[in-house]
Chains A and B, each alone.
Chain A
Amino acid sequence: MTHAALPPPAAGSRLRDISLYRALRAFPGLLRVGFAGAVAYRAEFLVWVLAYTMPLIMLGLWTAVAADGPVGRFGEREFSGYFAATLLVRLSSGAWVIWDLNWEVRQGTLQRRLLWPIHALLTYLAENLAALPMRLAIALPIALLTTLWLGPAIWASDPIQLAIVPLSLFGAFLLTFLPMAIIGTLSLWWESSVALYDLWLALYTVFSGYVVPLELFPPGLGRIVAWLPFRQMLAFPVENMIGLVSRERALHDLGIQWAYVALFALLAHLMWRAGIKRFAAFGG
């Protein structure tokens, strides 16, 4: 009877004990497979993209309003640029982890992820990130169309602000993904935690500048809203993209955005740890 030799421990085996290191090594493979999955679901993906009608509907309303006269510094052109940018930000920052997570907990297929020696949330992150190329493939033509329709002057002119754009979009993505992961983790305690996400989404709809530019809010409310994470999820990247904020303000908001990312990441990690303990105590 032969004994198969276990592969000898790799030279960096102590490094392997670090969760993040393991995840980083696995990421290329995870992203590749995630992308294959996204391509396999491309028909559904197209329907999802077509369903981003809200910015267009709001655009319809606000341009009609502006036709009678500008609102603040928003004329028809400014509103059009704003909501076109909103569509772009929404497209590039979409995630769906909460439904996956909730589904896997309820179906019991979460156990597959728990048997992997990689932090489950990081595997979800890879899957959601892997769809980015397809999203960008839709977003870029829309950006082009917007430029043709409204003229290139609609975009921010400051090079620093333009450089911030990808960072702000990635931050927006993480601020979409992480709260989803946190609320999804609640499924480990409470099956219908997805309902809480609805609440988050409702607050987002109002306070992120999705249905009305935050500038137009009454001043008292506006001050509070400026510090909420929702602004960093949409309004900041949008306003930066079309040059509605100064460079100083943009950098300042970027800092707040990533501070929120760090906060949510920590919260997600802690909640997941606690959730798994509870899940394992009460049965999968």
Chain B
Amino acid sequence: MRRYLGLVRVQVKAALLLALQYRLDFCLEVVMALLWSGTALVPLYVLFSIRDGVQGWTAEEMLVVVGFFTLLKGVLATVIQPSLAQAVEHIRKGTLDFLLLKPADAQFLLSTSKLELAHLADVLAGIGIIVWALTHLPGRLTAFGFLLALALLGCALMILYAIWILVVSLAFRVVKIDNMNYLIVSLFEAARWPASIFRGALAILFTFVIPLALLTTYPALALLGKAAFTHLVTAVIVAFGLLATSRLAWTRALRSYAGASS
């Protein structure tokens, strides 16, 4: 365990050095990350200058969902996306072999192979949005709600990670998969609204095909005092189920792995 923590420290330090070296780029990336989070708020701003609520959600309540969305997007962009891109490169060039020769779990190494620290700004921004929204919703937050939200957030992170591993396992078979990264992010955009907003065919697509509702709506419901223990149970089941499936897919894929021909 200690060794893995040490490995993480090394990766973080490497990312930090890189950020310092390309300092102008780093500042720009932070600014851009915040700008993008800002654009997510524009349609809501326009909307709530005309209306008071949508489908039973008020502006402040929707902001809590957007806050979680921004936070998770930040995690995606900091840890998952860069590593995914790196993994795909390795598989495509056949240099995954070097990784597999190292005396550490390959899945772990691949997961932490690259970090984009600039997007931590998104994580902070997301937290900021949630805090701001909650200050305008006095009395809604309870200790239970807070703990529930944390647990649901943890499940959301596990689900994202599991999806990531599944995609990488897929990459072993379908080599040119770089834009899968882009696809995941695009689909994840659906998590920016409370799940109940989507009706009809879209609702089915976004709720059952990909469990996006769980990711942002559930933690928001928890903070707003509208979630129950059953939400947590569902989330945990889905999270662990996906994690197990992804680990299985990973080991399968690794076994059938053959390096690219020269």
Interface residues of A (CB under 8 A from B): 41, 43-44, 47-48, 50-54, 56-61, 63-65, 67-68, 71, 192, 195, 198-199, 202, 205-206, 211-212, 216-218
Q: Check if B21 is an interface residue, CB within 8 A of chain A.
A: no
* 0 or 1 for each of B25-42: is its CB under 8 Å from A? (1 = yes): 100110010011011001
Interface class of chain B by DSSP = helix
Cβ-defined contact, A68 with B54, below 8 A: yes
**Contact partners of B257 in chain A: CB under 8 A:** none
Whose C-beta in chain B lies nearest to the C-beta of A216? B46
Interface-side segment among B7-15, B104-112, B183-191: B183-191
Cβ-defined contact, A60 with B176, below 8 A: no
Determine how close the nearest CB of chain B comes to the CB of A111; give it in whole angstroms: 22
Cβ-defined contact, B202 with A47, below 8 A: no
Whose C-beta in chain A lies nearest to the C-beta of B29? A195
Q: Check if B100 is an interface residue, CB within 8 A of chain A.
A: no
In the complex with contacts A199-B32, A212-B43, A51-B193 CB distance below 8 A: no
Cβ-defined contact, A192 with B183, below 8 A: no
Determine how close the nearest CB of chain B comes to the CB of A25; give it in whole angstroms: 33
**Contact partners of A60 in chain B: CB under 8 A:** 190, 193, 197-199, 202
Q: Check if B19 is an interface residue, CB within 8 A of chain A.
A: no
Contacts A57-B192, A212-B42 aside, 17 further interface pairs with beta carbons under 8 A come to A41-B176, A43-B174, A44-B176, A44-B178, A50-B183, A50-B186, A51-B182, A53-B189, A53-B190, A54-B186, A64-B198, A71-B51, A195-B29, A195-B32, A198-B32, A212-B46, A212-B47
Cβ-defined contact, A218 with B29, below 8 A: no
Cβ-defined contact, A61 with B179, below 8 A: no
Contact of A192 among B22, B187, B189 (CB under 8 A): B22
Interface residues of B (CB under 8 A from A): 22, 25, 28-29, 32, 35-36, 38-39, 42-43, 46-47, 49-51, 54-55, 174, 176, 178-180, 182-183, 185-187, 189-190, 192-193, 197-199, 202
**Contact partners of A64 in chain B: CB under 8 A:** 54-55, 197-199
Cβ-defined contact, A57 with B193, below 8 A: yes
In the complex with contacts A52-B186, A53-B186, A71-B39 CB distance below 8 A: no
Whose C-beta in chain A lies nearest to the C-beta of B36? A202
Q: How far is the CA of A212 from the CA of B35 in the complex (A)?
A: 17
Determine how close the nearest CB of chain B comes to the CB of A144; give it in whole angstroms: 17
Cβ-defined contact, B202 with A44, below 8 A: no
Contact of B42 among A192, A198, A206 (CB under 8 A): A206
Q: How far is the CA of A205 from the CA of B36 in the complex (A)?
A: 9
9 contacts between A and B (CB under 8 A): A51-B179, A51-B183, A53-B189, A60-B193, A61-B197, A71-B50, A192-B22, A199-B35, A205-B39
